[in-house]
Amino acid sequence: MDLIRQLADELKLKPTQVESAVSLLDDGNTVPFIARYRKEMTGSLDDQVLRELSERLEYLRGLEKRREEVSASIESQEKMTPELAQALSAAKTLAELEDLYRPYKPRRRTRASVAKERGLEGLAQAILEQPVHGDPAAMAAPYVDAEKEVPTAEDALQGASDIIAETISDSAEVRRELRELLWKTAQIKTVAAGDEDSVYRMYYEYSEPVSKIPGHRVLAIDRGEREGFLKVSVEADEARCQPVIVKAFVRNMSPCGNFVRAAGADAFTRLIFPSLERELRGALTDAAAEAAIRVFGVNLRQLLMQPPVKNAVTLGLDPAYRTGCKIAVVDQNGKVLETTVVYPTPPQKKKEEAARTLTRLIEKYGVSVISIGNGTASHESEEFVAELIHSLPQKVSYMVVSEAGASVYSASKLAAEEFPDYDVSLRSAVSIARRLQDPLAELVKIDPKAIGVGQYQHDMPRARMDETLGGVVESCVNSVGVDLNTASYSLLGRVAGVNGTVAKNIVAYREENGSFHSRKELLKVPKLGKKAFEQCAGFIRVPESADPLDNTAVHPESYEAAKALLAACGYSLRDASGGLRDLKEKADVLGLSSLSAQTGVGVPTLRDIIAELQKPGRDPRDELPKPLLRTDVMSLSDLREGMELTGTVRNVIDFGAFVDIGVHEDGLVHISQICDRFIRHPSEMLKVGDIVKVWVLGVDEKKKRISLTMKPPKSPAVC
């Protein structure tokens, strides 16, 4: 119960909510299932809060386990005291716990341990008592012993100083105070490691307070240090640090007191500060990484939830120079109709031949949209496509899509299994086409780190990155739902309760037995038991089912409740197949509380059932702004200061956002140019996929950099 109360306090939740959520998690329920189908138990906690609760629960349980290990170790040494036991019990972080354990922790041989072996611990203790008239030199005389390798009083005093320094270093209270002080007053300092120029030149002579340095600069400095361009240090204000030690250990101004003061200075310089510097830099990196992962997760969610371009035969174009542009035409469901290669770009420049080929494909298959990858030769390919579609009688538009990760996917085992007869490059063209048709279904096949909607993603802790991004993908897939008869095993493997093995078994069953005709048929799939069915069933859609509820997010456990609701409102189950637009109004007239009692489900679940029956098979992505399709193209040389443009946000990072304005190179809107009011992070105002109006601030054609603003100019733009 202490754990439940702590989680409730930290997350600002009711203890009953936390207790129910913890119980459900411990019983093996997935976060998407709990968030969607156990709202009455958790008080409608959403999946993000549940994931945060789950992560914090894991940390606190790890802390408790470590507390037990530390206590057992100290007790085995017969050094446990009531005060220490209370301090261990009160420790709220692993750092506090390790500080308390430090004096009792088995360690390698140190200068202090050598001094103790030489019998100098008694001298150190005597000096630490700091008798007013005590003389350290006289006190050291009895400890001189050549056989113990203490030939002189000076050697004895040095050993005593080493012991006192380690005692001070092991003080949990001193470390706590110094840690807090360093966080407030220390500076990060960087200098060049050599004469070589690099992208880190701004850090060749740089310093910033630890308390103010933003995460993206921490990550840049870390990378510069790893690559050998920077030397990084933490500078402490010793004049403010030393008094912390003096206050804790120095009792007077006697010779012994001065001896302890000097040992304290040695402790800080040699033992405490190097340790806290490593800890501080590690904490800065961890915090920066956590923030970057969080931003990456937000961007990834928005990218995956981009509205699909539905019911459109799509031509995917993977641009290139020497090897030509790879072409793939896919139908409305993503099935590949034809592939080829054309050479409209240098060095071949066979534009007329390429135009004839694409015109034939567009007319033969009824292509209405072209998806162009944004990699090498993208701009030339875009110019070619824009010129081509203006010559066609039918309406065809195009969009440049990010091809990040396309090469990773095309060379993967999954792509080889999906397209065994296609060349690697042609697989990329298929992926680029499908990204426009259904970003979620296609991008789940790719390692999220390769999608490139963040910063320093390859520097992040792998396990933490995978955990967070995996949670984002799982959340997106389950919020949209998955068509059981068309989904790839990559998509099925992201459904709550379905692992990779079961996903492959579902596809194998489908290939052997034909389409599924109901959700219940899932129970025939090998290794998909009742628990897995409970977790996944609500997120699976079976449009071909005779039961219209199988094509909704209504869970099978609530089918009887849904039928009772329909009957109470004057409908049959058959009526539900086309959607019941006025169901909510009829339910409101009857009263949700009354219907809840009649149907046997809680009001939150009842509301969800009503929403699903109003629009069976609804896709939450349909309510978002549609992708910005283009029919013309510009280049960097066309841009003028003050020009007004419409673009698509491609990436949101700590210091701004990159916007695609149709000139191949994305423009940067610095955080200061997003709006007039102060914002802490660009994500407060922007998200990936937003269609925004921008104005050109400046263009550097040599460096291919575009500066944009979202603040309307005070005077009319000059174009």
Residue 401, domain member (yes or no): yes
**What is the CATH classification number for the domain harbouring 412?**
3.30.420.140
94: tokens are 């692993």
What pLDDT, in 10s, does the model give residues 684-694?
999 888 889 99
Residue 698 backbone phi and psi in degrees, to 5 = -170, 155
What pLDDT, in 10s, does the model give residues 32-55?
999 999 999 999 999 999 999 999
Q: Burial level of 595, CB count in 10 A (0-12/13-18/19+)?
A: buried
What pLDDT, in 10s, does the model give residues 444-457?
888 887 776 667 77
Q: Compute the distance between CA of residue 505 and CA of residue 318 in angstroms, rounded to an integer.
A: 32
Q: Is 612:539 a contact under the CB 8 Å cutoff?
A: no
For 27-40, b/e burial (b = at least 16 CB within 10 A) is eebbbbbbbbbbbe
The reply to whether the predicted model has a pTM over 0.85 is no
Residue 373, domain member (yes or no): yes
More confident residue, 625 or 601: 601
**What is the CATH classification number for the domain harbouring 48?**
1.10.10.650
Residue 426, domain member (yes or no): yes
Whole-angstrom Cα Rg for the chain: 33
What pLDDT, in 10s, does the model give residues 231-244?
999 999 989 999 99
pLDDT at residue 402, rounded to an integer = 82
Centre a 10 Å sphere on the Cβ of residue 96 and count the other Cβ atoms it contains: 18
Q: How far, rounded to the nearest angstrom, does the alpha carbon of residue 80 sit from its chain's CA centroid?
A: 42
Residue 120, domain member (yes or no): no
Range of the domain at 408: 314-463
Residue 306, domain member (yes or no): no
Q: Is 704 left (phi over 0), alpha (psi -120 to 50) or beta?
A: left
Query: Has residue 719 got a pLDDT over 50?
Result: no
> For the residues 567-589, what does the mean pLDDT come to?
91
Residue 608, domain member (yes or no): no
CA distances to 65, 125, 598, 607 from 602, in Å: 38, 68, 10, 9
> For the residues 418-446, what does the mean pLDDT come to?
88
> For the residues 354-362, what does the mean pLDDT come to?
96
pLDDT at residue 715, rounded to an integer = 54
302: tokens are 């928005």
Q: Compute the distance between CA of residue 325 and CA of residue 342 in angstroms, rounded to an integer.
A: 5
Residue 652, domain member (yes or no): yes
pLDDT at residue 409, rounded to an integer = 83
Residue 670, domain member (yes or no): yes
pLDDT at residue 600, rounded to an integer = 94
Centre a 10 Å sphere on the Cβ of residue 195 and count the other Cβ atoms it contains: 6
Structural domains of the chain, count: 3
Omega before 347 within 30 of 0, i.e. cis: yes
Q: Which of 104, 131, 158 is the last residue of a domain?
A: 104
Residue 367 backbone phi and psi in degrees, to 5 = -65, 130
